[in-house]
């Protein structure tokens, strides 16, 4: 397993985005050449998930199942004129056929377009307003059967700001840290790759709480991938 850090872009323009997506995908494939290395990628924003999932799927020769923990579905067809934005990554993944199942957990900022896109792609969207009803199922997930494995994507803003205020897009009413640990630790499936994204050090508290939480998430995913 290898941890890769991919930071935010300073420029968003079509040609550059195409080139950057290609560079990221090829970098991940290079890492995966060295068996049994499995990439754990650190953001940056959530735009990195698309090229990483694409690389993993292409390298392994088929789609994966995705567990996506986030306050937002990130499935806009296009956001602010950018089809590769942080808010569009999972639309590109599903369009490309790189995932069979996509489970989104922790949602609490979702628009009509987000729900419509979810239906279009056959996604499983779990909103926080029904978490008390869904939690037993979500804490006993079994993914990856019949595909090339499981990809886990954790946006730190899936957590309630009480646990992780240092994120780019704060949304109250989120998961507790224990909720997230229960979901990850009880997940059954071969985790072949993962990412942790959207920690924003400029918004971290003086005590560094969000950095500590993000680091713990990385450790948990490292353990999951290494099994």
Check whether 46 is labelled as a binding-site residue: yes
Q: Is the pLDDT of residue 53 over 50?
A: yes
| Dihedral angle over CA of 147, 151, 157, 159, nearest 10 | 80
Check whether 86 is labelled as a binding-site residue: no
Q: Among 14-18, 20-24, 51-55, 159-163, which is the least confidently predicted range?
A: 14-18
Check whether 22 is labelled as a binding-site residue: no
d(CA 161, CA 210): 9
Check whether 195 is labelled as a binding-site residue: no
100 pLDDT band, cuts 50/70/90, is: very high
Q: Is the pLDDT of residue 136 over 60?
A: yes
What is residue 114's three-state secondary structure? helix
pLDDT, residue 9, reads 38
Q: 121: closest CA among 166, 61, 76?
A: 76
Check whether 190 is labelled as a binding-site residue: no
Residue where the block lists tokens 């990554």? 89
37 pLDDT band, cuts 50/70/90, is: confident
- Rounded mean pLDDT of the chain? 91
pLDDT, residue 4, reads 55
pLDDT digits 0-9 by tens, 102-132: 999 999 999 999 999 999 999 999 999 999 9
d(CA 107, CA 130): 10
Supply the pTM of this predicted model: 0.91
220 pLDDT band, cuts 50/70/90, is: very high
Check whether 70 is labelled as a binding-site residue: yes
Largest CA distance in the chain: 46
Domain residue spans of the chain: 2-226
Which fold is adopted by the domain 2-226?
A: 3.40.800
């Amino acid at each position: 397993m290898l941890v890769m850090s991919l930071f935010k872009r300073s420029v968003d323009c079509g040609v550059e985005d195409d080139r950057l997506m290609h560079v990221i995908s090829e970098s991940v494939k290079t890492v995966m050449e060295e068996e049994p290395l499995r990439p754990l990628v650190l953001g940056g924003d959530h735009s990195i998930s698309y090229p990483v999932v694409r690389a993993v799927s292409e390298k392994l020769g088929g789609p994966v199942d995705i567990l996506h923990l986030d306050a937002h579905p990130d499935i806009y067809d296009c956001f602010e004129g950018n089809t590769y934005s942080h808010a569009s990554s999972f639309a590109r993944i599903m369009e490309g056929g790189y995932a069979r199942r996509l489970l989104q957990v922790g949602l609490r900022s979702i628009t009509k377009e987000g729900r419509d896109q979810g239906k279009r792609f056959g996604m499983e969207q779990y909103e926080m307003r029904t978490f008390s009803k869904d939690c037993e199922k979500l804490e006993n997930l079994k993914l990856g059967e019949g595909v090339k494995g499981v990809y886990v994507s954790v946006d730190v803003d899936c957590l309630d700001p009480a646990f992780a205020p240092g994120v780019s897009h704060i949304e109250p009413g989120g998961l507790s840290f224990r909720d997230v640990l229960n979901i990850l630790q009880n997940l059954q499936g071969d985790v072949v790759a993962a990412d942790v994204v959207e920690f924003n050090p400029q918004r971290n508290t003086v005590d560094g709480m969000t950095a500590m939480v993000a680091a713990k998430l990385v450790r948990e995913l490292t353990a999951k991938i290494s099994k």
